[in-house]
Amino acid sequence: MEWETVIGLEIHAQLATNSKIFSGSSTAYGAEPNTQANLVDLGMPGVLPVLNKKAVELAIRLGLAIDAEIAPRSIFARKNYFYPDSPKGYQISQYELPIVGLGHMDIQLENGDTKRIGITRAHLEEDAGKSLHEDFQGQTGIDLNRAGTPLLEIVSEPDMRNAKEAVAYMKKLHALVRYLGVGDGNMQEGSFRCDANVSVRRPGAEFGTRAEIKNLNSFKFIERAINHEVERQIDIIESGGKVVQETRLYDPDKDETRSMRSKEDANDYRYFPDPDLLPVEITPADIEAVRATMPELPDAKKQRFMAEYALTAYDASLLTLSREVADYFEAVAQGCGDAKLAANWVNGEVSKTLADNEMEIAAVPVSSAALIELLKRIQDNTVSNKIARDVFAAMWNGEGSADAIIDKKGLKQITDTSAIEAVIDEIIANNPGQVAEYRSGKDKLFGFFVGQAMRASKGKANPNTLNDILKQKLEG
C-alpha cells in the first residue's frame, strides 16, 4: 500500500533591525561573546522590555506580501521553558493573537504546475542565546549576543506532500524575505532556519503522528532530512511499531535523524500574556504606510519580465529568484537592447561562474556596465559568443575591460569574406574524400568542415559567415 507524506514548516527569519526586539543592544553578527547583551537581554530584575517598532513594520511587510490578515490587535506572551542559553527562563513570543494571520504563497512544482501553500500565521518573538561546546574541555560556554534578536516565525499549513515541495516553498519564502528587506536570509549565520514537521499516513486517512526536525539551515539538508524521516516512520509502522511525537535533530554526516527530546504541546509551555508589554494595536493607516514602501514582488516581476522583455517563464523565474539578480539583468537588458541575449548571459555564464566561486551577485566582479560592453561586441560581430566567454573569464579575473582584452589578445572576429573563403578553399582541397562523401549525401560531415575551419582561423571566423560560405562551396 502507498504512503502519503505530510509536511508543515516553521521558518524562523531574523529581522533586519539594528537593535534587538526589546532592547537597544546591537544585532550585528560576529561580535566577541557576550559583548552585545544588556540588562534586558540578561533578564535582570527590575528591567522592562520596549518593543522595537521596526520589527513590527517588517512583520506587516511580510504579511502584505503573502496576502495575509494583519491583526489590528496582537499580544505578546511568555513561553515558559528552561534552556541554559535563555537567562529569563522564558521566551517572549506570540500565541493566541499573532501579528500576521492566515495567508498563502504559490510555489512552482517540477512539472510546471502551481501549488498554493497555506500559511497559518507569522508571529514575532525573541531568539535565545547560543551554547558553545567547542574548546571548553567538557564544559559548555554561553554566548548571549543572540538573546533577544528579533525573529519572525512563519508557520505553514501541513500542505506539502514531499521533500521537493518543502524545498520549493522554503526557497520561495527565502527569496521573498530578501526581496522585501525583511531579513538578509543568511543561512550560514542562522538568520534563516527551519523546523520541519513530518508525518506519514495512508492516502485519505487522518494525519499521522508527527516528528519535528529542528534547526535546518540548508536547502540540501532539509530535503535529505525529510526523506530520511519519512523512511524511518514508514519502517516503524510497517514493523508494527508506533511513531512517537518528538523533536529530532538531523546529522548530515551520517544522513540520519536522532531523537532530541519528547515534543511538547502548547499547554506544556504555560503561555500567558506578558505583563510587561502592552498589546500591539495596528491601524489601517499603519498598514497603508508600510504598503507604500513595498518593492515589486517576485511573482509580479516575473510576469512583467515575460510581458516587457518577451522572456520565457523559465528564464523569468530564474532571473527573479533574487532581487539583486533581477536588477542586474534589467540593467544589462536595457543597456544592450537585447533582453534574450542578456537573459542567456545572466542565467548562463554569470550564474555559472558565481556558483563555481560560491559568490552572490552582489560580489560579482563584472559589473552590469562591463557586461553590456562585452555583449555589444557580440552584437557588432567583433567577437563570437564562444570567444566572448573567454573574454568574460578574463574580465572576471581582473584583466581589464572587454575592449582592452579583445585588443590585447587579438580576439577580433574575421568577418572579411575573402579571408574566410581562403581558409575554406584550403580545407576543401586538403580533404577530397570527405568532400565526396558529403556530396553523396552524408550531411553530418558538415560539422567536420566547420570544426576544421574554426581551428584554422583560431576560432576567430564569424560563425554565420563561415557557415554560409562553406555550405555554398561544398554544394557547388
pLDDT tens column, 373-383: 999 999 988 88
* Whether residue 77 sits in one domain with residue 138: yes
Residue-level pLDDT at 263: 62
Share the mean pLDDT of the chain.
Answer: 92
Stretch 292-319: mean pLDDT, rounded?
A: 94
Per-residue model confidence as pLDDT tens digits over 257-284: 888 877 666 677 789 999 999 999 999 9
* Whether residue 218 sits in one domain with residue 304: no
Per-residue model confidence as pLDDT tens digits over 182-241: 999 999 888 999 999 999 999 989 999 999 999 899 999 999 999 999 999 999 999 999
* Whether residue 261 sits in one domain with residue 139: yes
Residue-level pLDDT at 458: 75
Residue span of the structural domain in which 433 resides: 417-475
* Whether residue 38 sits in one domain with residue 11: yes
Per-residue model confidence as pLDDT tens digits over 140-154: 899 999 999 999 999
Which of 74-88, 118-132, 307-321, 361-375 bottoms out in mean pLDDT, i.e. has the lowest?
74-88
73 and 105 in contact (C-beta within 8 Å)?
no
Cβ-proximal residues to 449 (8 Å cutoff; 6+ apart), any chain: 424, 427, 428, 431, 434, 438, 470, 474
Query: What is the value of pTM for the model shown?
Result: 0.82
* Whether residue 172 sits in one domain with residue 55: yes
Residue-level pLDDT at 457: 78
DSSP, collapsed to helix, strand or coil, labels residue 471 as helix
* Whether residue 334 sits in one domain with residue 207: no
Query: 289, 316, 331 — which closes off a domain?
Result: 289
Distances (CA, A) of 294 to 119, 182, 291: 20, 11, 5
Q: Report the percentage of the chain scoring pLDDT > 70.
A: 98
Which of 59-68, 244-253, 437-446 bottoms out in mean pLDDT, i.e. has the lowest?
437-446
Helix and strand element counts for the chain (H, E): 17, 15
Stretch 383-404: mean pLDDT, rounded?
A: 94
* Whether residue 315 sits in one domain with residue 277: no
* Whether residue 109 sits in one domain with residue 9: yes
Radius of gyration (Cα) for the chain, nearest Å?
A: 29
* Whether residue 175 sits in one domain with residue 215: yes
Residue-level pLDDT at 1: 64
Q: Where residue 463 sits, what CATH number does that domain have?
A: 1.10.10.410
Work out the pLDDT band at 296, boundaries 50, 70, 90.
Answer: very high
* Whether residue 302 sits in one domain with residue 283: no
Query: 409, 435, 455 — which closes off a domain?
Result: 409
Query: 409, 433, 464 — which closes off a domain?
Result: 409
* Whether residue 246 sits in one domain with residue 143: yes
Cβ-proximal residues to 143 (8 Å cutoff; 6+ apart), any chain: 33, 34, 85, 129, 130, 132
The total number of structural domains that make up the chain? 3
